[in-house]
Structure formats: structure tokens, C-alpha cells
Amino acid sequence: MSAHKEIPVPELDIPLFSVADAAEVAGTSVNTLRSHMHHGLIGLRKMDEAAPAGGTRLLTLRRVIQIAIMYELIRAHRQAPARAAQLAANFTDFASGSPTPDNGGKLREPGRTFGQPDFTWLVFHGDEGVGRIVRIQRTTTATELAVKFDGNGLVPGAWLPLDPIVKRVELFGEERGNNARRERRD
């Protein structure tokens, strides 16, 4: 992964989620999440607000997406927390993809899926590397996803569809925002 400059993206980088919100949408306990944050597994950035004295830390949508992907990898693929956090950050914090005419010659932006009609999957192999964020199209074959070649032949891989996780977190955020607006009106 290359170094990157943090440029806030309003939809992704406004701190709105509590740690309890992040734990709920990720399907883990607050204590487990706090422990992983304390040990530096979750890459908090300057946009994620530190808790003021006696207050609540707020996380950005980008960080909550990373947390949700991380815990999905732990549950579904038995990845160690540090490895799962690294794989998830590959999606939320780094651009990827191949610039093509149909995507305006741009890479996929960090924290964003490729968008319909394509799908966005994380493909990884064992305990090595940071995985790949792959654009899935109608013509993509399972062989392209599940294997890689090394000096000894094929190495099996695993994959995780990211679109449903990102959508789940976005819907959770929208619901939280709608509830907060209703509470202010009442």
C-alpha cells in the first residue's frame, strides 16, 4: 500500500457514530470493540473525534464501515483481529481498481464500492498481503477470484462481498439520523 493524503469526504468523514453504534452495526460487543481500538487494531484518523472528558468518542462512517468489515471477516472467515482490521482498512483507506474509460479513468475511491451494475469484493489469500479489492462484473470468473499463482502453482483464496456490508452500515446511519431528527422535533 502506498502512503496517502487524508482528504476528508463529507459523507464518509463526519464523526456521527458512537462506539456503541459501531459495535451494534458490526455485531460485536462494545467491550470487544473498545479493546481492539485500545490495542490499535482500528485505524482511527484525525476525523474520528476523541472523546472529550466525560464525553463520547464519535466515529466516522468510513471507520464504522471498516469495523463492520473487520468483524465480518473474523466471524465468517476466521481471520485474526489484526489481519481482519488490515484487510478492512484496505477497502476504507486506500484507492484501488483499474482506471478504465467506463469509470472515467479513475481508481475506486477509498471507502466506496465500485457501484452498480458492478459489485465490490475483497479477495484475500491466507495470512499474506493486504488482499485485493476487486470489481465483479458479469464476465468475472470464479477462477479469477479464488486463486492466485505463485512459484508452486495455484493458491486458493477467499472472498467477501463488500456491497451488502457497506449498505447495511449506510442504512444504519440513515436510521440513526432520522431518529435523531424526530427526537429534536418532539
The cell for 145 is 477470484
The answer to whether 49 and 58 are in contact (CB under 8 A) is yes
- 5 occurs within a structural domain: no
User: Would 91 be classed as within a structural domain?
Assistant: yes
- Residue 138 belongs to a domain: yes
Please state, in angstroms and rounded to a whole number, the distance separating the CA atoms of residues 111 and 50. Answer: 21
Supply the mean pLDDT for the chain. 81
- Residue 2 within any structural domain of the chain: no
Residue 129 has a pLDDT of 67
Give the pLDDT score at 156: 67
**Residue 37: inside a domain:** yes
Indicate whether 80 belongs to any domain. Answer: yes
pLDDT digits (tens, 9 = 90+) for 119-178: 998 888 766 667 888 888 888 777 666 666 566 666 667 889 999 999 999 999 888 765
Q: Give the model's pLDDT for residue 75.
A: 92
Number of domains the chain is built from: 1
Q: What is the pLDDT of residue 1?
A: 43
Answer whether residue 22 is part of any domain: yes
Q: Is the pTM of this model over 0.85?
A: no
Q: What confidence category does residue 51 fall into, taking pLDDT thresholds of 50, 70 and 90?
A: confident
Q: Is residue 126 part of a domain?
A: yes
**CA–CA separation, 85 and 94 (whole Å):** 13
Question: 124, 132 in Cβ contact below 8 A?
Answer: yes
Q: For residues 14 and 157, which has the higher predicted lDDT (pLDDT)?
A: 14
- Residue 170 domain boundaries: 10-185
Cell numbers for 45, please give them: 484518523
